[in-house]
Amino acid sequence: MSINYIYPEFEVVRNPNRCICCRVCERQCANEVHRFDADGKVMLSDESKCVNCQRCVSLCPTRALKIIKSDCVLRENANWQNQTIKEIYKQAESGGVLLSSMGNPNPLPVYFDKILINASQVTNPSIDPLREPMETKVFLGKKPNKIERDKDGNFINNLPPQIELSMPVMFSAMSYGSISYNAHKSLALAAQKLGILYNTGEGGLHEDFYVYGDNTIVQVASGRFGVHENYLQAGKAIEIKMGQGAKPGIGGHLPGTKIVGDVSKTRMIPEGSDAISPAPHHDIYSIEDLRQLVYSLKEATAYKKPVIVKVAAVHNIAAIASGIARSGADVIAIDGFRGGTGAAPTRVRDNVGIPIELALAAVDKRLRDEGIRNNVSLVVGGSIRSAADVVKSIALGADACYIATAALLALGCHLCRTCQTGKCNWGIATQNPELVKRLNPEIGSQRLINLMTAWKHEIKEMMGGMGINSIETLRGNRLMLRGIGLNEKELEILGISHAGQ
């Protein structure tokens, strides 16, 4: 097509007074935006290729570069917004499904931002976490309903296998293939040092990472990629992935171009073949079917590994969770509609699913009402952005949170949302060895450890402020939350009062 309908989204602004032509921008841009013009001895740029990942901005030693949003706009129209029109142009040209990466960026309500946390004043003492012990350790898994004793009165250990976490946060599923070897290694190293878990996603476990097994959740998803007995034995827990917040109801597709070398070996599929995860598990069409898989996995691992069932937050999530809680699963993981992805159809990502805050509140209430809350632990994900979101999630009823986008940001991700191109300049969402090496796991893992340590301090501060010294006491403690700017129905679903009440 000869007419270019879409004007570049970003402008590369270079301050010629500061640019020393060191060419680091040129060398670091996998999209080939920058180039050196030897005749004029100046750097030139082609902004049409820029995805605004800010790699050049971050590495420019003289801060000569900035990327700004282009102010070339189409005529204003509240109904036909610029983005909508550009998407039409793209589809008119390509004839294809629009693809996007990372979480839903649209301005839909973020309930976490409309929930406020309580603090102690006068009538009850707050606690200073720097002076007094503060417990953030949690155990995930099925809890027994009663204490059992033998005929001599001694305790019978009837505790099913548990996952011990030093703080109520885990790194959620990102497959080796969707992210790089070095990104996985950073997560594994950090999880081990922090005493938490990371998750393999549906890509198998690279042989180098079996040593981190005690800090690994191994995932079994609809494509069953990389699943074998040793893999199941290797992890601390097994996760059955039924759905993902970014793309509920659809499967996954890792293009053959990314199935190279170790990725192919780890996934146990030929090099260059597309890795297609079906939308459903072809052996699961009911809770009874799910129960069969849960028990197959337990049987295969001698009932030593807790089984997590991960679902996307969708309309009847409370009823679905109730079913899962009866399936024999030890943990339910729920992924909200803002959860990230390495690639999803834009329409699905932006329009399918529900917010995690509402899903969590509904599920926790339903399981309590039915008296089966102790059957399972609840883990929530789908845009947990800060320690405050963690505290609010726990108070709404979660046992722990899953984070992935926040973890990737710590590794250098700038949320340019073009993971699907495989040209991640930060060495995260790519399999190109030249780009993968940009992420040194020594640096990456330390940044993850720093982030989690900071969150842990903040969680303790907020707990102390509420006069709570154990995360167990905060769980489901909705009296510690108040809504602001929410209507009656929203407050009812969240199970919290309005600020001022």
Partner 1 sequence: MKKIYVNEKWCLGCHLCEYNCAFANSGETDMVKALKDKEISPRIHVEEDGKITYAVSCRHCEDPVCVKSCISGALSKKDGVVTIDKNKCVGCFTCVLVCPYGAVIPTDKHAAIKCELCLKNACGYPACVKGCPNKAIVYEER
Site residues (CB under 8 A) for partner 1? 17-20, 22-24, 27-28, 41, 59, 61-62, 64, 433-434, 437-438, 440, 442-443
Alpha helices in 228-339 (DSSP H): 229-234, 261-267, 287-300, 317-325
Tokens of 208: 């180098």
Q: Which is nearer to partner 1, 63 or 228 (CB)?
A: 63
**Smallest separation (angstroms) from partner 1 to the CB of 414:** 14
**Smallest separation (angstroms) from partner 1 to the CB of 204:** 24
> Residue 403, SS3?
strand
**Smallest separation (angstroms) from partner 1 to the CB of 28:** 6
Q: Which is nearer to partner 1, 349 or 438 (CB)?
A: 438
Q: Which is nearer to partner 1, 53 or 384 (CB)?
A: 53
Q: Which helix H or strand E contains 66, and what residues bound it? A: strand 65-69
Count other C-beta atoms under 10 Å from residue 50's C-beta: 23
Q: Which is nearer to partner 1, 24 or 491 (CB)?
A: 24
**Smallest separation (angstroms) from partner 1 to the CB of 443:** 6
**Smallest separation (angstroms) from partner 1 to the CB of 431:** 15
**Smallest separation (angstroms) from partner 1 to the CB of 53:** 14
Q: Which helix H or strand E contains 176, and what residues bound it? A: none
What is the rounded CA–CA span in Å between residue 282 and residue 284? 6
What is the rounded CA–CA span in Å between residue 154 and residue 490? 48
**Smallest separation (angstroms) from partner 1 to the CB of 22:** 5
Tokens of 222: 């609809």
Q: Which is nearer to partner 1, 360 or 429 (CB)?
A: 429
Q: Which is nearer to partner 1, 272 or 433 (CB)?
A: 433
Between the alpha carbon of residue 352 and those of residues 335, 339, 364, the distances in Å are 12, 11, 22
Q: Which is nearer to partner 1, 32 or 442 (CB)?
A: 442
> Residue 435, SS3?
helix
CB 140 within 8 A of CB 399: yes
- Of 441, 442, 411, 445, nearest to 425 by C-alpha is 411
**Smallest separation (angstroms) from partner 1 to the CB of 432:** 10
Count other C-beta atoms under 10 Å from residue 130's C-beta: 10
Q: Which is nearer to partner 1, 60 or 169 (CB)?
A: 60
In the sheet where 377-381 sits, what is the strand order? 169-171, 400-403, 377-381, 331-335, 307-312, 237-241, 216-220, 198-199
